[in-house]
Amino acid sequence: MELRCVVAIVRPEVLKVLERRLGTVHVHGLTVTRVKGFGTHPNPFSNDWTTEHIKIEVFTESERVDALVQEIMDTARGASGDDGIIAVLPVERFFRVRTASEAAP
């Protein structure tokens, strides 16, 4: 089993809908972090070019990545007007703290 980490940075208003919709592609765990930043089009008229976003990280099997990415894209597009990014990263090693063991990636 190969693991991947899907990282998405989207607008905060996407989170509630996305949490519900990820259950439809069998995502049962995710990490959410509030972040600030700017991308290709910062607001030059503001004293602070950064905007608040939500960073979502999901560890999943490589076979589920395409469905997960599609669900995030569909949800983010509908709720925030095409804003955000998604990256898929390989997972080299994966440890479970509770059992102090390495899970097979």
| Rounded distance between C-alpha atoms, residue 85 and residue 70, angstroms | 12
pLDDT of 82? 60
Residue 98 has pLDDT above 80, yes or no: yes
- Domains in the chain, CATH or no CATH each: 3-103 (3.30.70.120)
Residue 105 has pLDDT above 60, yes or no: no
Count of CB atoms within 10 A of residue 14's CB? 23
Contact between 81 and 89 (Cβ < 8 Å): no
Give the model confidence (pLDDT) of 42-76 as tens digits: 667 777 778 889 999 999 999 999 999 999 999 88
Residue 18 has pLDDT above 60, yes or no: yes
| Rounded distance between C-alpha atoms, residue 50 and residue 104, angstroms | 39
pLDDT band at residue 78 under the 50/70/90 scheme:
confident
